[in-house]
Structure formats: C-alpha cells, structure tokens
A and B are shown apart, each in its own frame.
Chain A
Amino acid sequence: MLESGVVSAKPHIDRSGPPLLSVRGLKKHFPIRKGTFGRVVGQVKAVDGVDFDLWPGETLGLVGESGCGKSTTGRAVLRLLEPTDGSVHFDGDDVRALDKEGLRKLRRRAQFVFQDPFGSLNPRMSVGAMLEEALKVHGLGGPNRRDRAVELLERVGLRSEHVDRYPHEFSGGQRQRLGIARALSVEPDFLVLDEPVSALDVSVQAQVVNLLEDLQRELGLTYLFIAHDLALVEHVSDRVSVMYLGRIVETAFSHDLYRDPRHPYTHALLSAVPRPDPAGREDRERVVLTGDVPSPSDPPPGCPFHPRCPNPRKDGRCSTVYPGAETAGDGHSAACHYPYFKV
C-alpha cells in the first residue's frame, strides 16, 4: 500500500483502442401513475439521451446537481435499473441483450460502490461472511475464501482481526473501505462509484480518495466516478461529463473543463463552488443562476437549460432546437448553440 507522499504517475491511457464501456442514447424514464388503477399520466425523464465512452484504466467523472440523472445513469449502465432506450456495450458485449447468466458474468467484471456505507452493508453479517458470500456466489476463492477475505481487508487498509466484526463496529470511513473491499472481492475491471465519499468527513474523505487512486493504479481499474463535489471530481477524474436535466451538457479533459468551461451551465456551476481561499473573494466573478431546476417530467423545449441561461447570445433557437454535443478537435464537447470560447 502506498503511503502519503509517494506519488507514482498514472499510466498513460490509450484511447486509440476500443472503449471498455460505450453508451449511446441511454434513456431511463419512470412512469408517473395516478388513481386507483395506476393510470400512467406522464414520464419522469431522469435520463434522456446520454452518450459517453470510457477507456480501460480511465476515470470518467459524472457531475451535476441533485436530480440531474447522474446516479440513474450509473445504475442503468449496469442494468441495476432497466434502461428505457439506448445502447450500452461493455467490452464489446451488448449489455441490454444479456440474459440472467450473462448479467451475472457482467457483474463479476463490473461492480458498484454506493454512497451510504451504512445502508449497503448487512448489519447481521460479519465482515468475513459478507466477503466470503460474494466469492461464493461467483464461485471464486475455493477452499481459501477466508484467507482471501483477510487479504481484501488488508488491501483496503483494514486489519485481519476485523474479519470477525460486524458493520456497526466500524466508523464511516472504515465502512466505506468495507464497501470497496466487497466490490473488489470478485476482481472486477470496472467500478461505478456513486458518491463514494460524500457521507464522510473531509479528513477521512481524503483517505478514501487516496485508497481508490492507489487501487486503480495497482489493479488497472476503470472508474465511473459519480459525485456532486466539483473539486473532488476534478482531482480524481481524467475526463469529466457535466449533466443537467437528464443530459450531458459538456465533456472535456478534467484540466480543460475547469479552466475553460464552454457550456454556460458548467460556467455557472463552477463559479458557484465556494473556494477555500478568502483572498479576493469580493472581486471573484460569480454567476448566480436564478430559479430552480425545472421538473424532469416536463423539461423545457429546445435546450433544457435555456430558461435559466445567462448567456447574452441566447436567442429563439435555444428555446426550440436541442443543441447537439459537437466534439471539437481537442476532445471537448458542449451541447450549446453559442458555447463560450476563451480568446
């Protein structure tokens, strides 16, 4: 395990080969039912046409405010929620066409880590039993399952004697380490991390983020990192996608997105993040958006952001035509008719 201060460079990510995960036109709509007979009166368009690619060894950050569809996207990709439309390919296989057996195989390679370490661990199971169960389900570990469980605990920075303890005996940070150990037990290539550190205190957050980065380097893992904390997402991600009202509005390399946001929403979002630096706070440029996010059951026509958009070039096209996300030569895409460009 790497200790603080030791920095080993992240291996170069080869994006010329096929992506590990490829998502096109992904939609997840939830019906709104009313009355005694559960008549469907509308659809909540939680995810409404999402495209992205994720290459081996890469971390893609998915950010956005609550209700933008980032968690639903993470779940629909691995069919924890059945997508309404679109395609998902994992290592070339069509995920939506998989039968039960195929799904089981997929989930050996692709695992989840959830936000709430309290809610996602069984309180009646010892840590050892929990880790051994995951191995048993997937026919792994053979007769030495317990040794493997101890090895996993040590891998995530816990001690071997923790194997006989129960979840309530652990602190929040330790529980999140347990969630990671359970996800790693089946030796996956890919993890969907859904707000993995947002329930933790700042000092403990950093411990868990460092652990995730170490594991990625050592095991060559690929991450879809879903979070609302923009500074944290910049820190962990190679590329970042920003979501608003069920769609990705901007994707770029992490460095470019934070220095050169092109979509007016990204621009406003970044300017709203409080900076832990009081110097010059009075004259910092801040775009305060007016109003609230519209309801995903009745998104505005055209660009979903247009009612709140502060872009001075906004015109009639914005309220009628949905802007496609054209990718510029630098791998930076923004779904906006009039994106901002730095001069």
Chain B
Amino acid sequence: MSDAQTAGASLLAVSDLRTWFHTDQGVARAVDGVSFEVRGRETLGIVGESGCGKTVTSLSVLGLLPQPPAKIQEGSSIRFEGEELVGASTKRMRALRGNEISMIFQEPMSSLNPVYKVGDQIGEALRLHRGMNKRASRAEAVRLLTEVGIPEPDRRVDEYPHQLSGGMRQRVMIAMALSCEPQLLIADEPTTALDVTIQAQILELLASLRDSHGMAVLLITHDLGVVAEVCDRVVVMYAGQVVETGTVHEIFQDPQHPYTRGLLDSLPSVDDPGQRLRSIPGTVPNPIAWPHGCRFKDRCSLAGPGCEKPQDLVELGVDRAARCWRVES
C-alpha cells in the first residue's frame, strides 16, 4: 500500500473537467474545473459533502451522464492510459466500461436487476466482454462469488437479488465489477447504505482485492472515517472545485484549507466527548449561483480582504495543493 505513491504510473488523468447542466433555472456548474490523477495500484479518495460534484465527476469519467442536460465543456480532458475519453464514441466507452474501468454504486439493490439470477447477471459481463459460453460463465461466476467471500456460492449463484442481504448484494456488485479484471475500480459511496460491521467487511475486501488484482481504486465518499481507513491520497471537493489535495496523512494531520479543517473539526472527537462540536455555519451553496470569489468565503471564519477574488490552487509540494491564498504565507 505504501509503495503505491511511487510505483504507480498515471492511469487516469482528469484535467480542467467542467461538467455543466442546462436546467430551466439556469446553468448548474456542478463540476467546474477539476483536475486530479489516479495512479496504478493506489486508492485515491474524493471526499466532499452532498452537491460538491464528486459523483458527477465519476459519472463524467465513465461517460454515464445523459447529454443533454449534461454538457462536458470545451477544454475538459479525461485521459485513461493516455487515451482521451472526452468525445470518445459510445461504442468505445462501452468497450472500456466493465472491461478496463468498473464501477460500484451506493445502493446495490437498485443496480442489480431484480428479475435475473445473480449468476446470470455476473455471467452477462463475462459473455459480452470475455466471450465465454454459458457453462464457462457460470463456473466463473461461482469462482468470483467465492473470491468476494459469499458463503455457499454454488447455491447463491442461482438466487435472486432480493434473497440476499445488503452486504451480500454489495459483494455481488464487486464480483461483477471484478469479472473482467479492470485496471480501475470506481467505488461511489460503496458502504454508505451498510451497517458499520458490514462496512468493515466490505472495506477490507476492497483493500485485499486491490492488492491481489493490482488495480487502482477511485473511492468517492462523504465519510472522512472511511477515507482515513483506506485511501493513499485524498482530493477534497467543495462547490464543484478541488479545494485541497495531499496524502491521507497530510490531509488529516496538517489540513491547509479552512474547509478541510472545518470538516475535520465538526466530527465528534473520541478524545474529548464533552467538548462542543465546532460546526461550519451556513449551508452548501447552489451550483446555479456559486458565490463570487472564493466559494467558501461566506462560511469561512478566516474570510477577509483577498477572498473576494477567485482562488487558484496553490501548489504546496508534490501532489500537495490548497485553494486558498492564505496558505502561500
């Protein structure tokens, strides 16, 4: 895990991604100039609150946003192993998805088809992408279910999604995502709908599969605890922009952006439970009308002169940056 930062070459490079939505109320700039890189075998976390643009970012990478209303703006670039995905044909994206890049979502029940057996759904990807026949794909489905830790895989392969618990459904989703040995797994809030003991099982499974398959994981979550447990590097998003990047240790031990600090401070602390929580005042702004200048200034305790102009990401070192003019000094 620790050598991932040095060992991995760039697998996915997102640069100045702008995904806007044209709505009746106006243009929602959900993702507004996001850049980051995922390297081979690492786990990169994108963390932020609802409406910060983290899910739209991942759907843009996969080409899963209906256009219109979404529109990826001119100048945006998403490169996977050097290949530009913005503007790639539907056919090409279909070949990539599931094969090279896989995704698991928050609610496995709504991503699984309720009228097909689990084995048939895993087998579908194997037949489409790996050209297996029915018998071979069934055997491979059983092997995958074993690998993701489902007890009695021979029996479970013939069950329907409603017969499985939430944790087992998420394991089935992971089995499907793994079926074509992807290089990148995008996990969007994979444990948010699960209880903590089941969450711990799934996070452990994801980490061990990442290591055994040598894949990279892009983990999207709002849960700072999950980020701290599994990520190598972290991207913090706020109001459609990246506000801070760094290694997981830098982000948690030495946060630079006032928003990152505010998020960490608002968590109940195990060490001093009697303390009053430090909250961030106000609410997340509306993507149709992001605040002018620094987008966080209306909620920031340090706001003052200098914050009225748009903020740039200030480089603080290798893979380390924060979008606040104050960090320069």
Contacts and interface: CB of A to CB of B under 8 A. Distances in A.
B133 interface: no
A286 B200 contact: yes
A284 to B, nearest CB: 9
Contact of B270 (A172, A258, A268, A272): A258
Report, as a range, how many residues of chain A touch the other chain. Answer: 35 or more
Interface string B196-208: 1111110110000
Contacts of B199: 272, 274
B279 A204 contact: yes
A269 B204 CA distance: 15
Nearest to B51: A201
Contacts of B269: 235
B168 interface: yes
B50 A277 contact: no
A201, A213, A268 interface centre (most CB from chain B within 10 Å): A201
Contacts of A174: 283
A172 B51 CA distance: 12
B262 interface: yes
A233 to B, nearest CB: 9
B49 interface: yes
Interface in A194-211: 201-207, 209-210
Nearest to B278: A4
Contacts of B151: 291
A201 B285 CA distance: 13
A311 interface: no
Nearest to B149: A290
B276 interface: yes
A206 B195 contact: no
Contacts of B168: 292
A255 B252 contact: no
Contacts of A276: 224-225, 227-228, 252, 264, 267
Contacts, number: 128
Given A202-B222, A231-B267, A288-B201, A277 B283 contact: no
B266 A206 contact: yes
Given A235-B277, A277-B228, A292 B198 contact: yes
Nearest to B231: A278
B273 A254 contact: yes
Contacts of B198: 65, 292
B89 interface: no
B225 A171 contact: no
Given A274-B199, A292-B167, A206 B279 contact: yes
Contacts of A273: 196, 225
Interface in A252-294: 254-255, 258, 268-269, 271-279, 281, 286, 288-289, 291-293
B75 interface: no
Contact of A209 (B201, B253, B264, B277): B277
A232 interface: yes
Contacts of A209: 268, 277
Contacts of B224: 202, 276
Nearest to A203: B280
B168, B198, B275 interface centre (most CB from chain A within 10 Å): B198
B49, B276, B283 interface centre (most CB from chain A within 10 Å): B276
A5 interface: yes
Contacts of B262: 203
Contact of A202 (B167, B253, B267): B267
List 3 tightest A-B contacts by C-beta distance, closest first.
A274-B225, A206-B279, A235-B268
21 contacts: A65-B195, A65-B196, A65-B198, A203-B279, A203-B299, A204-B283, A209-B268, A213-B276, A228-B196, A234-B268, A235-B269, A273-B225, A274-B203, A274-B228, A275-B229, A276-B225, A276-B264, A278-B229, A278-B249, A278-B253, A292-B168
Interface of B: 49-50, 151, 165, 167-168, 195-201, 203-204, 222-229, 231, 248-249, 252-253, 262-264, 266-270, 273, 275-281, 283-284, 299
Given A273-B225, A288-B201, 15 more contacts: A4-B279, A6-B276, A172-B283, A201-B49, A202-B224, A203-B266, A204-B283, A206-B278, A235-B269, A258-B273, A274-B203, A274-B229, A275-B229, A278-B252, A292-B167
